[in-house]
Structure 1
Amino acid sequence: MIIVTGGAGFIGSNLVHALNDTGHDDILIVDDLTDARKHLNLSGARFTDYMDKDELPSRFASLGKVDAVFHQGACAVTTEQDGRYMMRVNYTYSRDLLHQCLGTKVPFIYASSAAVYGHGSTPFTEAPAHEKPLNVYGFSKLTFDQHVRALLAKAESPVTGLRYFNVYGPRENHKGDMASVIFKMVDAHARGEPLKLFSGSERFRRDFIHVDDIAAVNLHFLRRPLSGIYNCGTGVARSFRDLGEAVQGQLPGATIKEIEMPPSLERQYQKFTCSDNSRLLATGYNAQFLSLEAGVAKYVAKLTQPN
């Protein structure tokens, strides 16, 4: 059995579908369905069981044979200001679940984040000197990374952290304000509104990665369990202006309107990210990442197809 926490969420549900595509059906979905809309992300997916997230740590030992744990569940609201809540969900829960796996030789593959790097004034490499998160979300992810680093040398089972950069793609309809710019632009166009970008977006550059590539990297470490923390981006930084124009090119008649960035957001806004994939590539990962244009076209086609 494979466990996927956050299995009804954005990245988790895409991972479940990718596991199905590679012949894995014995999957335990772990999530919190307080937001019932998330169940739609699992439409057509094959899995054998579901468990609320609060049950898993105490019941893990009684589950029987577990082949791998993909820990994708988290509070991903980067603007969340309740630090105690953020640390309880992203750090304490992750720590407790990890310690259930240690010593079992069950691979533990978890979602970290490029938010640990902050403003990006130093290279985006997996080293403490370059890690300066701007918000408590990034801090919660970095704190768990630090905990993992402290025990890797003596861990009996593989523990793999993947630092996701700017992920976009299908199955994010439930995310509200945290949905990707692409989703918001397509939604605006459907309402007859212009596509909105922050002023100066040609200067804001991010490493945008399609969720299919995220799933592929996760499956790579299922096939080849290795301990360590690895960046997970395309290795190419593109501007939000590039992104907006790529979306505009897929939507006939779409126009772009620039708006001012709220001051509250600007203080914790990453204006540049670019993954250094040296460590990932050294593990033997050699699949080609989708280009921004190809990924946007694929996603917009999915968003605009008739139901």
Structure 2
Amino acid sequence: MYIVTGGAGFIGSAMVWKLNQMGITDILVVDNLSTSEKWNNLVGLRYEDYLHRDQFLKYIVEGDDVFETDAIIHMGACSATTELDADFLMENNYRYTQYVCKHCLTNDARFINASSAATYGDGEYGFDDDHEGIDRLRPLNMYGYSKQLFDLWAKDGNILDKIVSLKFFNVYGPNEYHKNDMRSVICKAHKQITETGKLKLFKSYHPDYAHGASKRDFVYIKDVVNIMAWLLENKDVNGIFNVGTSTPRSWNALADAVFSAMGKETNIEYIEMPESIRDKYQYYTEANMSKLAAAGCDVEMTSLEDGAKDYVQNYLAQDNPYLRSR
């Protein structure tokens, strides 16, 4: 059995989809559906059962052995970089992850965890996923800090050679629709362009970057789950790894890709960035992927243009834009 926490969320549900493509349906989905629209991500996917995240935590903390599993793919967390409740993030992101990790180690199960590129902060110390360098990183928000704390805990506990922790960069693609303000700009752009014919991007407040010229490492969700599938099959590969493309692209290039996929001329309006995020804004990210490549991972990454085209034309432009198992 495979357990996917956050299994109704963006990356989690995409991973359930990928497991289905691999012929795997013996899956336990763990999440908190509540009143959200996340349940739509599960329609059409095949899995054995669903369990609320609180009940799952209760079982593993109490040592219940009902969860005999090959692997736990732990994507469950609050991913809002604007979340201000630090106590909530400490419990939901940091402490919860510790419990799940300990359960895997105790039961000899594969543990693949969602860390984040937000741990790199403003990039002052680069974007290398070497274990020794994580101590000096300074995240710019509480979300990034909650992810950093787990990586530091794993390093201090000398368990990084037994687990996988993945630093996802700017992931975009199907099944992110429930994320509201945390949806990718490609998702938001398609709606804006459809309704208004133009796309709004933040102005730059950094002297080294013109409006729309700051760069991020945008990675397509299908590549992300292909990497995790490779890691499931290569259990001797462990540690902290970046998940990106190694090819940062500007917001202007992203806009061009979306307009092109929609068959329209680029039309951008630059707007003021909210003051609340100006001093915490990442102007450049670049995933150094050499470590994962050196481990033998041969997943070919999708270009921004090809990813945007697939996402826009085969999902966002469709009446039912979700990843579905076939």
Q: TM-score range by the shorter chain?
A: over 0.9
User: Aligned-residue CA RMSD in angstroms?
Assistant: 1.5
Q: Give the 3 Å change call, closer, same or farther, for CA 262–36 of structure 1 in structure 2.
A: closer
SS class of match (1:152)? coil
Aligned match of 1:146 in 139, 145, 152? 152
Are residue 30 (structure 1) and residue 30 (structure 2) matched?
A: yes
Identity %: 40
For residue 270 of structure 1, what is the aligned residue in structure 2? 282
Are residue 300 (structure 1) and residue 312 (structure 2) matched?
A: yes
Aligned match of 1:118 in 117, 121, 130? 121
Aligned match of 1:280 in 283, 287, 292? 292
For residue 260 of structure 2, what is the aligned residue in structure 1? 249
Matched-pair contact (CA < 8 Å) for 1:195–1:244: yes
Hey, what's the Cα distance between the residues in 1 that align with 2:285 and 2:66? 40
Deviation at 1:245, TM superposition (A): 1.0
Q: Give the 3 Å change call, closer, same or farther, for CA 95–181 of structure 1 in structure 2.
A: same
Are residue 108 (structure 1) and residue 111 (structure 2) matched?
A: yes
Unaligned runs of 5+ in 1: none
SS class of match (1:229)? strand
Amino acid at match of 1:186: H
Matched-pair contact (CA < 8 Å) for 1:29–1:50: yes
Hey, what's the Cα distance between the residues in 1 that align with 2:159 and 2:199? 49
Hey, what's the Cα distance between the residues in 2 that align with 1:28 and 1:115? 28
Deviation at 1:56, TM superposition (A): 1.1
Hey, what's the Cα distance between the residues in 1 that align with 2:58 and 2:50? 15
What are the residue-to-residue correspondences of 1:47-196 with 2, within 5 Å? 47-60=47-60, 61-126=64-129, 127-128=133-134, 131-153=137-159, 158-196=162-200
Amino acid at match of 2:35: D
Q: Give the 3 Å change call, closer, same or farther, for CA 31–201 of structure 1 in structure 2.
A: farther
Hey, what's the Cα distance between the residues in 1 that align with 2:308 and 2:294? 28
Q: What is the aligned residue count?
A: 305
Normalising by the residue count of structure 2, what TM-score does the alignment of the two structures yield? 0.90
Matched-pair contact (CA < 8 Å) for 1:167–1:209: yes
Are residue 215 (structure 1) and residue 225 (structure 2) matched?
A: yes
Hey, what's the Cα distance between the residues in 2 that align with 1:64 and 1:73? 17
SS class of match (1:110)? strand
Q: Give the 3 Å change call, closer, same or farther, for CA 247–59 of structure 1 in structure 2.
A: same
Matched-pair contact (CA < 8 Å) for 1:124–1:130: no
Normalising by the residue count of structure 1, what TM-score does the alignment of the two structures yield? 0.95
What CA deviation, in whole Å up to 9, does each residue of 1:33-62 have, x standing for no partner? 113310101121000000000111222333
For residue 207 of structure 2, what is the aligned residue in structure 1? none
SS class of match (2:164)? strand
Amino acid at match of 1:271: Y
Runs of 4+ in 1 over 6 A off after TM superposition: none
